[in-house]
Amino acid sequence: MTYKVFIDGRHGTTGLKIDERLAAREEIEILSIPEDQRKDPAVKARYINEADVVFLCLPDAASRESVALLEAGNTRTRFLDASTAHRTHPDWVYGLPELNAGQRERIRHSQRVAVPGCHASGFIMLVAPLVARGLIPAELALTTYSITGYSGGGKEMIASYEEPASLPQSMLSPRFYALGLSHKHLPEMQHITGLAHKPLFTPIVGNFAQGMVVAVPLQVGSLPRAVTPAELHAAYAEHYSGEHFVKLMPADPTSVLDAGFLPATTCNDTNRAEIFVFGHAEQILLAARFDNLGKGASGAAIQCMNIMLGLDEARGLAA
């Protein structure tokens, strides 16, 4: 069977990666609007309603406009939205199959799936299983930070790093950003984990194209009861048992570090996410490493598409 796929926003970073990943799949037919008709809403509406799957790789407002082009009674066309527009919307299913035991089936049967944000993916994979098991109370005020490659900033940021013959000194080091503490991923980070408070989130962009590590530090003394790294590791082992794309690293992760370092680029060009637990009796550091363009964007979108179409979930994706 052939499935018709329309990528709305095909020329953006995520759209290009989705297009690239689907190009070799014989069961997928990519619908492409002629260049001179791309801005015609009537033409876009026709393509959306002809497609089996529509990927929305657009700014939030444009994503909402595209969804509104679905014809009344069209229950066949299914949306996967990579913007932040619908990630906390009650009519959309959050596209993280590994979130809980029922999430994969919700994705399978939904017409509208919101693809998680990259930073949010790491935070939620780390925090949601622990909140669900009562190991972290929902009332706890958490801090999280992440380091990401510049590709997560889209075409403008990519150009700022790749087009100059040489970079200014200020861009050679990692740089904190979103210092207004209102990053666009915060609503889903709080909503999907069930936290009572938005985490204090400080993202960092580095002078490398892709790859990401999201980290959550815990002061054991601030928890209602003391937990150990081994206890949290066991909780992850239970939660992610049998998962193809989420890999729990050894309880003693020193053997899989790079001379004691945790590089952000190890999972690049895969849909794999690696979960780490570091620490001792007083302090614990949770970390998730993955490709911000893979499990953090296009890979996650295609994983959800595979589920929605009843295909092998791993089809076209490397673990």
Whether residue 225 is predicted with pLDDT greater than 90 in this model: the reply is yes
Beta bridge partners of 54: 6, 79
Q: Across all residues in the chain, what is the average pLDDT?
A: 97
**Which are the catalytic amino acids?**
118
Q: Which of 38, 6, 14 is nearest to 210 (CA)?
A: 14
Buried b / exposed e along 241-259 (16+ C-beta atoms within 10 A): eeebbbebbeeebeeeeee
| DSSP of 20-40 | HHHTT-TTEEEE---GGGTT-
Comparison of pLDDT for 138 and 1, the residue scoring more: 138
Angle (CA) 118-30-58 rounded to 5° is 40
Task: Provide the pLDDT confidence category of residue 166 given band limits of 50, 70 and 90.
Answer: very high
Tell me the whole-structure pTM to 2 decimals.
0.97
48 within 8 A of 66, measured Cβ to Cβ: yes
What is the predicted pLDDT for the residue at 38?
Answer: 86
The pLDDT confidence band at residue 254, using thresholds 50, 70 and 90, is confident
Domain regions of the chain by residue span: 3-116+297-308, 118-292
How far is 212 from 229, CA to CA, in rounded Å? 22
Residue 39 in this model has a pLDDT that exceeds 90: no
Beta pairing partners, 200: 143
State the pLDDT at residue 193: 98
Q: For domain 118-292, give the fold.
A: Dihydrodipicolinate Reductase; domain 2 (3.30.360)
Q: Residue 6: which pLDDT band, with cuts at 50, 70 and 90?
A: very high
What's the average model confidence in pLDDT over 206-221?
A: 98
Q: What would the CATH number be for the domain defined by 3-116+297-308?
A: 3.40.50.720
**Which residues neighbour 24 within 8 Å (Cβ) at sequence distance 6 or greater?**
316
- In this prediction, residues 134-155 reach a mean pLDDT of 96
The DSSP bridge pattern shows strands 112-114 and 93-94 to be: parallel
Give the whole-angstrom CA distance, residue 21 versus residue 15.
10
Query: What pLDDT shows up at residue 35?
Result: 87
pLDDT tens-digit profile of 264-274? 999 999 999 99
Q: Which pair of structure tokens corresponds to residue 204? A: 């960092």
- Alpha-carbon distance 251 to 293, whole Å? 27
pLDDT tens per residue across span 43-88: 999 999 999 999 999 999 999 999 999 999 999 999 999 999 999 9
Q: Which residues pair with 266 in a beta bridge?
A: none
- Stretch 248-255: mean pLDDT, rounded? 92
DSSP class per residue in 54-112: EEE-S-HHHHHHHHTTSPTT--S-EEEE-SSTTTT-TTSEES-TTSSTTHHHHHHH-SE
Tell me how far apart the alpha carbons of residues 59 and 16 are, in angstroms, rounded to a whole number.
15
Is-contact 274 68, C-beta < 8 A? Answer: no
